[in-house]
Amino acid sequence: MRGLSSWAGAVAVVVSLAACRQTPPPADSAAVGHGLNRQDELLLAAANIALPPPGVTPADLPEPNGKGAQLMAQFCAQCHNLPTPQMHSATDWPSIARRMWLRTEWLSPSLGVKVPSMAERFAMLDYLTANALKVSAANLPPGAGRESFELVCSRCHALPDPRVHSPADWPAVFSRMQQNMERMKVAPLTRSQTADILLYLQSVASRQ
């Protein structure tokens, strides 16, 4: 049901944008699929890629009873699945959040999507950056499999610090990331990449 709601939200965005166009679509852009022309069909397809994966509830967020988590549940889940702050790094969240807010501002009021106030935006951004993905920066430990880790794991987010988890924890975390990649329609890893990355993560992980 959450997937259907996200799809419906994406359709609403496309329809709203299409209605705002000042010029008619090209003559050869015949309506297809859901009554949209090809350009809007492509936009709809792109909107369904790399959305936050399903399964996250407000109770799963860090400090779920805090203002930041409550604002995320109120605003972010209107159009897509609820993201976790760990989806992106503290340096990435400001531009991502700004892009989301601009989109909500441009939507037609008839869609009923609530737009956060400036105070609510600052509160959400403080929450997102405080609980963001812990990245490795320039201190990525050396080791076999590092190149595969850098290549693959930077597709969706900044490189996490391998030392934030223990060797015993990394297999479950890595498996969850693979599931998220599948849900977000990101190209799957090869067996060799999977083995190399998991070996690297476990070899340089925290021993505490």
How does pLDDT run across 146-188, given as a tens digit for each residue?
A: 888 888 887 777 788 888 888 888 888 888 888 878 877 778 8
Rounded average pLDDT over 107-118: 91
pLDDT in tens, 96-109: 899 899 888 988 88
Q: For residue 51, which of 8, 109, 112, 15 has the smallest C-alpha distance?
A: 8
Whether the pLDDT of residue 61 is over 50: the answer is yes
Domain-wise residue ranges, the chain: 1-51, 53-133, 146-204
Length of the chain, in residues: 208
Q: What is the mean pLDDT of the chain?
A: 78
